Amino acid sequence: MGLQINLEGHLALVTGATGQLGRVMARTLATAGADVVVHYHQNVAKAESLCAEIEALGRRTMAVTGEVGQKADVFAMRDAVVQKLGNPDILVTNAVSQIHPWQTVLEEEEEDYEDQFRSCVLQNVFFAKAFVPAMIEKGWGRFVGINTECSMQLFKTQSAYGGAKRAMDGVLRVLAKEIGAHQITVNQVAPGWTISDRDREQGSERSERYESTVPLARRGTDQEIANVVAFLASDLASFITGAYIPVSGGNVMPTI
């Protein structure tokens, strides 16, 4: 039998799990054997539907809601999860606040920078404070932050989003050094422009202009992103930490 991703006996929490990418990551972790906590912001119907899918796989699950950039909400979520399912040992910080349209630095409102800082940076700080102590006690844990290729590209109008994702990168690299001795890994997955169910429904999977910049000459799929998350959550990735891993078909390539 070849190598397999086996997450049985682990409890994962995915923030923004009802989103286009989050739901695929949650399903994939459950398929690999993990019990999964589904965090949602507003879409309770989608959260309940996703929980039903996870239960059908024979996994334990529950839905939680709250603002990921608010410390009180994150700690309240932790208390609810611990009471019902125990301490998560896999965290996937995927939720992000959407600000559209993106504006130039001269035009972007300061509130948008504050919003992205809470969503991208403080989310990771608060989830670390809430959930990492139990991982330290266990001597095992996985922290996977969802970053973006934009944090390397930094194109025009990406200052609020790209700047916050860069700050997220800094926080998680430091965290990786601080808690690594406890066999807790901290890594980031950085998707490119990803095909989701919305694209499949709308027939918008193709973009020749974008694909022309990608060495693999196509857009990646939500499942391809979720596969890397599951890998990083598993023991197959036990000696990888502090990494920023683009899953972008080579559209961005970190250099040495």
**37 pairs with which residues across the strands?**
13, 62
Q: H helices within 139-246, ranges in order?
A: 150-153, 159-179, 197-202, 208-211, 222-233
Q: How far apart are CA 22 and CA 50, in angstroms?
A: 10
Task: Return the active site residues.
Answer: 161
Cβ neighbors of 208 (< 8 A, separation 6 or more) are: none
Task: Report the candidate in 177, 167, 170, 165 with the shortest Cα–Cα distance to residue 252.
Answer: 165
Task: Report the candidate in 51, 71, 49 with the shortest Cα–Cα distance to residue 60.
Answer: 51
Torsion of CA 196, 221, 44, 230, to 10 degrees: 180
Task: Answer whether 80's CB lies under 8 Å from 38's CB.
Answer: no
User: Quick one: tokens of 247?
Assistant: 């899953």
The gap from C-alpha 9 to its chain's centroid, in whole angstroms, comes to 21
Task: Report the candidate in 51, 1, 10, 39 with the shortest Cα–Cα distance to residue 146.
Answer: 39
User: Quick one: tokens of 2?
Assistant: 């070849």
